[in-house]
Amino acid sequence: MVPGGHNPVPSDTPDHSRFCVLMLKFSIGGLIMAATHIAILAYTLAQIMAAGAGDWTVYWRIFLALDFPVSLAVVPLTWIFPPSPTGPFSDFANFWWPLTVHGLLGTLWWYIVGMSIGERLARRRARASKREDGQQT
C-alpha cells in the first residue's frame, strides 16, 4: 500500500496470485530435488573432513556448476582469500560461506527447479489424458 491508499499491485492480478502460489506450494518433485542436493552436500562435507590439509577446498568446485547461478555468490570470496592452513573450521571464506550459500540458497534453488519440473510433467499428463478422453468419445 502506498500513501494515499492506492495499492499498485492489486491482489487479484494474475502475477500476484502466481507469486503467492509459488511461495506456498508443496511439491514432491521439489522435495526430491532438494533432498538430492542435501545428500550431495553431505557427501561433499564428508570428503572435506577426510581430505588432507591442503586440498579440502577442491571439493566445493562441483557446486560451481551444480548450483549455478547461486554459486556466483561464493566465487568472489573463495578467489580472493586463500584457504586457511588450520583447516576448514577456521575458514569463513572457503568453508562457512560456501556451506551457507550452497546449503540454504542452493537447496532452495533445487526445490524450485524440482517444483517447476513437476508442474510441467503434470501439465503434460493432463494434456495427454484430455487427448485420450477426446479420442474415446
Across all residues in the chain, what is the average pLDDT? 82
Return the pLDDT at 68: 92
Query: Is the confidence at residue 13, as pLDDT, over 70?
Result: no
d(CA 107, CA 111): 6
Helix 28-50 with 107-136: angle, nearest 10 deg: 150
Segment 109-126, tens digit of pLDDT: 999 999 999 999 999 999
- Alpha-helical regions (H) of the chain: 14-24, 28-50, 62-66, 75-80, 97-100, 107-136
- Select the more confidently predicted residue: 32 or 87: 32
25 confidence band (pLDDT: 50, 70, 90):
confident
Q: What is the mean pLDDT of residues 40-57?
A: 86
Return the pLDDT at 116: 93
Around 32, how many Cα atoms within 13 Å sit in the side-chain half-sphere? 8
Closest to 81 measured CA to CA, from 68, 97, 65, 105: 97
